[in-house]
Amino acid sequence: ATKEDEQGGRNGAVQADGRLKSEKYFQEKDLWGFIHRSFTKSMGYTEEDLRKPVIGICNTFSELNKCHSHFNELVDYVKRGVWQAGGVPMEFPTISIGEPYIKPTSMLLRNLMAMDTEEMMRAHPIDGVVLLGGCDKTVPAQLMAAASVNIPAIVLTGGPMLNGRKNGRSLGACTDCYGFTLEHKAGNITDEELASAENSVCRSDGHCQVMGTASTMASIAEALGMALPGCAAIPAPDSRRRHMAERTGKMIVELVRRDIRPREIMTEAALENAITVTMASGGSTNAIIHLVALSQRLGRKLPLEVFDAISSRTPFILNLRPSGKYQMEEYFEAGGVPALMKELESHLHLDCLTVTGGTVRDNLRGAETLDRDVIRTAAEPLGSQGGVVVLRGNLAPNGSLIKQTAVSEHLKRHTGRAVVFESPADMEARIDDPELDVDENSVLVLKNAGPKGAPAMPEIGQIPIPKKLLVQGVRDMVRISDARISGTSYGALIVHAAPEAAVGGNLALVQDGDEIELDIAARRLELKVSDAELAERRKRWQAPQSHYDRGYGLLFHERVLQADLGCDFDFLLPKELREELLGAG
């Protein structure tokens, strides 16, 4: 039991004395029991309802978050399921994070949402919870909260949008947002055509339809065993998602009865299953940060090498954009995550417990692939390995990532001279300067775009190719930063360099003209500058000022961990792991 358990049972659901948390609220004949019953019955709940397990439904509906715009309707179906199974649903809000609006980057708010979700779950008479998430940062935030609170929990994702459609073509966000904008800028399409494209790419409720971060995290929730089988790929407006919502409502009541909790489900083996599914799906690099953070919430380190090892032995079999051809709608019709996992059976831990109350093996019985062009066989994959590789060396002693499948062949082993940008603003100002001393062999280095530097590690690791090289036909260059990239990026992009420049990682010491060597096969990234010279430069280095002098931004700046440690706040880690990773005090 944690200290909090001992100090009055802040954790649910079944308490040390074998009673549900809600019973303690609603069954006592004392003053607080009176108040709890009286106030609750005033909302229409009856005496009989108060004897049922209370199921919290975390509704992250927001008109500021397009990807969750249909959640009020979904919640109604979850409630139906909860009532049918003999529970009593109580809906509650938390903050909701949608990618398109949030500045400076949604990553700034992931930990805030995780804290909000955790504290809402702890503070209320909730015996179990259904977590409705969808857009990129919401599902990781909710999984992190579930790991920390450890009451029975099921994730219900909102589902992807229907395929965008235009002139017989299938379109997807946001992969096609870039294309149309570029064509318009180049004068190839009119304002009217641009508007029509806008109406066509996003034409229904739901999150982005390609295998970006949202679809990756939905698949991960399912692969972990924290969402019901088949949940991830059902399109948001499809009636079968409503059925899924109802089933989720029924199942959570059963999980409370059986007292099956997230930490029994999200074991080390379950996280390995999630990583395997991510690699086989060509999932987003962002998932790595989220899975590290989740594992640490569960009290376990998750070194980047685990991703590298699983990536090397996992066939890439899902033909979805941005790495492949199709989108989530075809994935759903082909059988979704259960069909993919069935194909990967020999790579998965099949004994893992899931929110069905059964194991992965049980859940995969009967799963089959209905379209072989969408889900390939492990014997005939799209690629023999997953995409993501971990690079180390003096430029990123704590690791950096590159999606090797997206790197041009001639750059996989490359040495070049550094062209350095001190910050995202510096890059913006100078990248297209005709005077910039750069050629196709240069290595573009962007500093101060990491967790503390930018702040919150925005998705700007796809440093643009300088215009003067673009017109010469250069399409890829080695680019290094402590930033993140969107799931849809392409090129020799080395990202998540740790430690970041803003905390004095060696990245901060790179100067124009330094030689940098990349060798993907050897997993190496080296700055060819002597240790003595680096020590000299370090004496002159000054930490950049925080972007914030108060509020949540300042808290973020002071407590956020580096990318290789998942960018969680240090104080949110379990105490023992925190001391092991960061030292006592």
Residue ranges binding Mg ion (CB under 5 A): 136, 212-213, 486
Task: Choose the one of Mg ion, ligand FES, none that binds residue 56, judging by a C-beta under 5 to 8 angstroms depending on kind.
Answer: none
Residue among 419, 140, 151 at smallest CA distance from 262: 151
CB of 404 to Mg ion, least distance (A): 20
Q: For ligand FES, which is the closer residue by CB, 207 or 261?
A: 207
Q: For Mg ion, which is the closer residue by CB, 208 or 420?
A: 208
Rounded to 5 degrees, what are φ and ψ at 335? 120, -10
Dihedral angle, C-alpha 256, 260, 262, 268, nearest 10 °: -170
Three-state SS for 336-357 is HHHHHHHHCHHHCCCCCECCCC
Q: For ligand FES, which is the closer residue by CB, 330 or 482?
A: 330
Task: Choose the one of Mg ion, ligand FES, none that binds residue 544, judging by a C-beta under 5 to 8 angstroms depending on kind.
Answer: none
Residue 179 CB coordination number (10 Å):
13
Task: Choose the one of ligand FES, Mg ion, none that binds residue 306, judging by a C-beta under 5 to 8 angstroms depending on kind.
Answer: none
- Classify 202 as helix, strand or coil: coil
Q: Rounded distance, CA 304 to CA 236, Å?
A: 33
- Those residues whose C-beta lies under 8 Å from the C-beta of residue 489, and which sit 6 or more positions away, are 322, 403, 406, 459, 461, 462
Q: Name the token pair of 10.
A: 């802040």
Q: For ligand FES, which is the closer residue by CB, 207 or 484?
A: 207
Three-state SS for 373-437 is CCECCCCCCCECCCCEEEEECCCCCCCEEEEHHHCCHHHCEEEEEEEEECCHHHHHHHCCCCCCC
399 contacts 564 by C-beta, under 8 angstroms:
yes
Q: For ligand FES, which is the closer residue by CB, 227 or 390?
A: 227
Q: For Mg ion, which is the closer residue by CB, 262 or 461?
A: 461
Secondary-structure breakdown of the chain: helix, strand, coil percentages, each rounded to the nearest 5 = 40, 15, 45
CB of 160 to ligand FES, least distance (A): 8
Q: For Mg ion, which is the closer residue by CB, 55 or 174?
A: 174
Q: Rounded distance, CA 367 to CA 148, Å?
A: 32
143 contacts 226 by C-beta, under 8 angstroms:
yes
- Those residues whose C-beta lies under 8 Å from the C-beta of residue 554, and which sit 6 or more positions away, are 546, 548
- Classify 443 as helix, strand or coil: strand
- Those residues whose C-beta lies under 8 Å from the C-beta of residue 368, and which sit 6 or more positions away, are 335, 339, 342
CB of 100 to ligand FES, least distance (A): 5
Q: For ligand FES, which is the closer residue by CB, 241 or 557?
A: 241
CB of 68 to ligand FES, least distance (A): 8
Q: For ligand FES, which is the closer residue by CB, 100 or 299?
A: 100
Task: Choose the one of ligand FES, Mg ion, none that binds residue 135, judging by a C-beta under 5 to 8 angstroms depending on kind.
Answer: ligand FES
Q: For ligand FES, which is the closer residue by CB, 101 or 571?
A: 101
CB of 569 to ligand FES, least distance (A): 23
β-bridge partners, 392? 524
Q: Rounded distance, CA 297 to CA 566, Å?
A: 10
Task: Choose the one of Mg ion, ligand FES, none that binds residue 249, judging by a C-beta under 5 to 8 angstroms depending on kind.
Answer: none
CB of 161 to Mg ion, least distance (A): 13
Identify the H or E element spanning 365: none
Angle at 404 (CA atoms; ends 525, 381), nearest 5 degrees: 150
Task: Choose the one of Mg ion, ligand FES, none that binds residue 284, judging by a C-beta under 5 to 8 angstroms depending on kind.
Answer: none
Q: For Mg ion, which is the closer residue by CB, 212 or 282?
A: 212
Give the binding site for ligand FES (CB under 6 A). 67, 98-100, 135-136, 173, 207-208, 212, 214
Q: Are strands 478-481 and 493-495 parallel, antiparallel or unpaired?
A: parallel
Q: For Mg ion, which is the closer residue by CB, 69 or 486?
A: 486
Q: Name the token pair of 499.
A: 């430690």
Q: For ligand FES, which is the closer residue by CB, 314 or 486?
A: 486
229 contacts 152 by C-beta, under 8 angstroms:
no
- Classify 550 as helix, strand or coil: coil
Q: Rounded distance, CA 436 to CA 231, Å?
A: 50
CB of 138 to ligand FES, least distance (A): 9
CB of 202 to ligand FES, least distance (A): 9
